[in-house]
Amino acid sequence: MSDKDEILKANDNFYSALATRDLKAMEKVWQTDEKAGCVHPGWAIMRNWETIMQSWESIFDPQDQVDIKLSQVSLEISSDMAWVTCIQEMTYIKRKPVTFNISQSTNIFKKDTDRWVMLIHHASPIIVSSYRPQVSSIQ
């Protein structure tokens, strides 16, 4: 599998773990040390895997059903680092009322010994009234 395919697969695995609220799958995606960083929409940056994992534990509600759609996905690779940018549209189906949010996300991956792992996830909220969806292919 090419680096491009591996990185996009790792990115897909991240969003699959997020959608299914699967902490074990989430942990498999990440670099699990003090270098990891995460910014949830509206939050300050968290550093180190333990803090990030605790944030996912507090966010994940097993009663939630989340539908995630990605658009404007773009990938850049430079040696053993890569970054994926995308728009993530999340619909929380089982909440009353149903909740919808949109974020601009940047996911930074690092080539580990034999796989690509997420080093940084940064999601910034987009105001829904200003959002203009675009159809694009991976560049």
Written as six digits, the tokens of 82 are 């890569």
Mention every residue, 6+ apart, whose C-beta is less than 8 A from residue 2. none
β-pairing, 46-47 with 81-92?
unpaired
- The pLDDT score that the predictor gives to residue 131 is 58
Domains and CATH numbers, the chain: 3-130 (3.10.450.50)
How confident is the model over 75-132, as pLDDT tens digits?
Answer: 999 999 999 999 999 988 877 777 888 999 999 999 998 999 999 999 999 987 655 6
Q: How many percent of the chain have pLDDT more than 70?
A: 91
Q: Is the dihedral of CA 88, 37, 114, 16 positive or negative?
A: negative
Average pLDDT over residues 12-16: 96
